[in-house]
Chain A
Amino acid sequence: MIASAPMTLALRWLSMRYATGLRTAMSAWTPLLIAAVAAAGLEVKIDVRSYIRAWDAAPASTRMLILLGATIVIVAATRRILRSALHGEGSELLKVLPIAAHTRFGLDVLAVLIFLIPLIIVSVVIIGAWTVPLMLASAMIIVLWQPATGNRQRHSNYELHWFANRRLLATSIGALLAIGAAKLAIMNNSVHSPSAFARIASLFAALGAMFIAFETGHLDAEARPWRRLERSLPRTALASLVRTTAIATLFALPVALVALALSPVAALLAIVAHAMLFLLARLESQGAVAWAGSFAALIAAFQPLVVIVAMVIAMVILARALEARERTCDA
């Protein structure tokens, strides 16, 4: 370790860790952040005391099984995230640098603790919200399905593998969980009026779309069919917008169809939200996706149509930004 500037080195190392994977791994907490905002906005609460009573009343063997299962799921999911983030691309050459192994290990532990802070805060702030277990489960399931380093691997039937194994499952589960969360929110809040019902349905359809777009945005952008489509279109902002909307619409359809069971506005919102977040994911603005998505979802709970218009405008701006970035890269 460089003795003269340990703090500077620590900060640089942490910065490098976040630049080379942990920032992307933070996406695992996106559903939680969105769920936290949504739960706070909808005042979705459960009776914690009744859960504690039920927990105490359960046989010891049942409690042990539940704890064991939860531990296995959390450890397996976290291990995969961290393995991908800390031992993925770019990690090997860091070992050549003159930094002691125990220092590297200590800094990595610190990076992981920082990585877990959103989870800790969200767990504390929204304990008792119905949506949390569902969203947490969805995040864990999706993470478990994503191979640690396989996202960018290419093989002969890549598109088929990608679509059947990842996209379809992610879409189906994300949509089902979003609808399930919406139903629970409606039940918990004793919602009866059609407009209130539509608002909540729209909100969760948007959440589902955001979750899916966020989790799979990079895969979408990397897949060969879209690269072929990119090559066939002129390199303009309008073409970027058309291409993105086409892709997003196609892949938001499963979500939109499920959302349609709740309301047409929910279906429309799902498609537009998906397209916008797809663009954000391509721009690799994960943090922006989480916070913009959460903010938009809250607004959507009050006035979905306004948000749709705002999102379309945002899409145009993002398409121009994407085009500008690609031009820079090409140059």
Chain B
Amino acid sequence: MIHVESVSKTIGGRAILTDVSFRVAPGITALLGPNGAGKSTLLRILSGIWHPTSGRVTIANIELHRDAVEAKRRLGYQPEFPDLHPALTPRRYLDFVASVRRCDRRATCAKFGVDEFLDVAIGKLSQGQKRLVTLVAAVMHDPEVLLLDEPTNSLDPQRVEILRTMLTEERRGKTHLISTHQLDFIGAIADVTLTLSGGRLVT
């Protein structure tokens, strides 16, 4: 469902990713590696935020940078750092995302307990609450392919359990690529492991 072919990314003359190729089948794939290995850069490229310097990405059989709109309809992405405007409320932001994606956000908000702070300015939320908002935005349309960057960071154990249940039971058969350092979390649910080091795929 995800096909990465010879992807490289150079920023400011520095190679962040070098000739990375792999396939991700339906199920849960862990993306591991030390800090600075290029995991977040790779997920940004797969989500369509950044273009690769060279190489090709296919999401659900659609070439991402050729037909980005169709590919992004099938994609959900949660960033490592919640990039949300502090003046917005979660309700305003999630309603906007839901309207663009043509789906209903309410069930997902209720599942992750976002209803409790829907009308509080994002600038006033804790890091964990901000991450829940981005998680809801990433999964509300039940995408075929889900990219999660450090999804358990700042989450309480209860929310981590809800996330685990969603990934292993409710979304069974869909494609997940999860970058994390929480080996106890990912070790229990991952089918396949990919490891990046120095911008290269080592396993």
Task: From known contacts A12-B96, A93-B83, infer whether A98 and B88 are also in contact, taking CB-CB under 8 Å.
Answer: no
0/1 per residue, A1-45, Cβ < 8 Å to B? Answer: 110000011001001100111001000000000000000000000
Known A12-B96, A12-B99; further 4 A-B contacts with Cβ < 8 A: A20-B88, A96-B72, A101-B68, A328-B120
Cβ of A54 within 8 Å of any chain B Cβ, yes or no, is: no
Contact partners of B83 in chain A: CB under 8 A = 89-93
Which range holds the interface residue count of chain A?
A: 20 to 34
A-B contact number at CB 8 A: 69
Decide: B100 and A89 in contact? CB cutoff 8 A.
no
Our pick among A16, A93, A95 for the contact of B134 (Cβ within 8 Å) is A93
Cβ of B164 within 8 Å of any chain A Cβ, yes or no, is: no
Q: Which residue of chain B has the shortest Cβ distance to A330 in the bound complex?
A: B124
Decide: A89 and B75 in contact? CB cutoff 8 A.
no
Decide: A88 and B68 in contact? CB cutoff 8 A.
no
Task: From known contacts A99-B69, A100-B68, A100-B69, infer whether A19 and B85 are also in contact, taking CB-CB under 8 Å.
Answer: yes
Q: Which residue of chain A has the shortest Cβ distance to B72 in the bound complex?
A: A98
A91 CB → nearest B CB, Å: 8
Contact partners of B99 in chain A: CB under 8 A = 8-9, 12
Task: From known contacts A12-B100, A328-B120, A329-B124, infer whether A96 and B92 are also in contact, taking CB-CB under 8 Å.
Answer: no
Which range holds the interface residue count of chain B?
A: 20 to 34
Closest 3 CB pairs of A and B: A90-B85, A20-B85, A98-B72
Cβ of B37 within 8 Å of any chain A Cβ, yes or no, is: no
Q: How far is the CA of A19 from the CA of B97 in the complex (A)?
A: 14
Q: How far is the CA of A89 from the CA of B92 in the complex (A)?
A: 15
Q: How far is the CA of A12 from the CA of B99 in the complex (A)?
A: 8
List 10 contacting pairs A-B, 8 Å CB cutoff, sorted by A: A8-B99, A12-B96, A15-B96, A19-B92, A89-B83, A89-B85, A92-B83, A93-B83, A97-B100, A98-B101
Cβ of B49 within 8 Å of any chain A Cβ, yes or no, is: yes
Task: From known contacts A20-B88, A98-B73, A100-B69, infer whether A92 and B100 are also in contact, taking CB-CB under 8 Å.
Answer: no
Contact partners of B120 in chain A: CB under 8 A = 328-329
A166 CB → nearest B CB, Å: 19
Decide: B86 and A89 in contact? CB cutoff 8 A.
yes
Cβ of B47 within 8 Å of any chain A Cβ, yes or no, is: yes
Cβ of A323 within 8 Å of any chain B Cβ, yes or no, is: no
Cβ of A284 within 8 Å of any chain B Cβ, yes or no, is: yes
Q: Which residue of chain B has the shortest Cβ distance to A9 in the bound complex?
A: B100
